[in-house]
Amino acid sequence: MRAVVVTESGGPEVLELQDRESPTPGPGELLVEVEAAGVNYMDIYAREGRPPYTRETPYVLGAEGAGRVTELGEGVEGVSVGSTVAWTGVPGSYAEQVLVPADRAVPVPDGVDAQTAAAVMLQGCTAHYLASTTYPVGEGDVTVVHAAAGGVGLLLTQIIRARGGIVVATTSGGEKAELAQRAGAQHVASYDDYADVVREVSAGAGAAVVYDGVGASTFDTSLQVLRRRGLLVLYGAASGPVPPFELQRLSSGGSLFITRPTLGDHIVTREELVGRTDELFGWIAAGELDVRIGATYALADAARAHEDLAGRRTTGKLLLLP
């Protein structure tokens, strides 16, 4: 099989398409023919060797995808050969074949194709827990969604709207602003003027929650636009990690809260994982959640996908199609 291998930590040039031996499923595993693999910022962090994603090279990159089950390992029940499953948090997904633990494989229902399923696993589950668990958005809550035209941002905006929240979306303008608006954001602003929009929308009170996947470049203003006892949810670092800061800022800002959640802690059990994906897939099949696939690439073009994502030249989800 062909797979994208990280030969050493570094830039996109360290990604190499190689021929590797097809894996054999062990007990409790599925062998899946990959139809689509998701490209995510955490793949870039892993490729660069950023903790906690550091791994010994060489290794096959990727952790998310969907495809057709071709072989079952010993003891696997409830899954049949030929069925379509999706996964996230499974190493080695930038490949034509991957071994998926059966308890991490979720069934993809009729009405949801494999590409859409792959596109919604990491980003969709992230948007789901952000708006329903980390801060359960309620009717009339003023929220800020940074990078609202990105994969998580577009899904998060739709889920917040479905829960009755008010979205102030930040984008770099142009097509991205239009996409955020079409996703349901009531207010779309630039990174320079969104604080003014929040003040106006909230009658000076500030935002109940800021969902920030950008990191270093937005951190300070994210804190500044929060209402008293507001919550900053820092779930990513597209512009770089946030440097250490003085905790007293939370007190002087109005008894603020800050959290740095990760998806893994919100899909710990199979019940929680399937509960989130069942709801997501149900919304998609019913036409209530739109999943934008911004671009697709061949496995051989994985480096270009990374360059496009890191350069913030993309919208929605990027996929590799083996």
* CATH code matching the domain that covers 2-121+277-321, chosen among 3.40.50.2300, 3.40.50.450, 3.90.180.10, 1.10.10.60: 3.90.180.10
Q: Give the domain ranges of the chain.
A: 2-121+277-321, 138-260
* Residue range 250-294, pLDDT digits in tens: 999 999 999 999 999 999 999 999 999 999 999 999 999 999 999
Q: Which residues, including other chains, have CB under 8 Å from residue 173's CB and lie 6 or more apart? A: 190
C-alpha dist (Å) from residue 178 to 16, 154, 164, 181, 189: 36, 11, 21, 5, 11
Question: Is the dihedral angle over the CA atoms 61, 67, 72, 75 positive or is it negative?
Answer: positive
* Residue range 55-86, pLDDT digits in tens: 999 999 999 999 999 999 999 999 999 999 99
Map tokens 């036409």 to a residue: 287
β-pairing, 257-259 vs 142-145, is unpaired
Rounded distance, CA 59 to CA 27, Å? Answer: 22
DSSP label at residue 129: H
* Domain 138-260: CATH class, spelled out: alpha beta
* Residue range 153-208, pLDDT digits in tens: 999 999 999 999 999 999 999 999 999 999 999 999 999 999 999 999 999 999 99
Counting Cα atoms < 13 Å in the Cβ hemisphere of 322 gives 28
* Residue range 1-13, pLDDT digits in tens: 999 999 999 999 9
* Whole-structure pTM value: 0.93
pLDDT tier for residue 52 given thresholds of 50, 70 and 90: confident
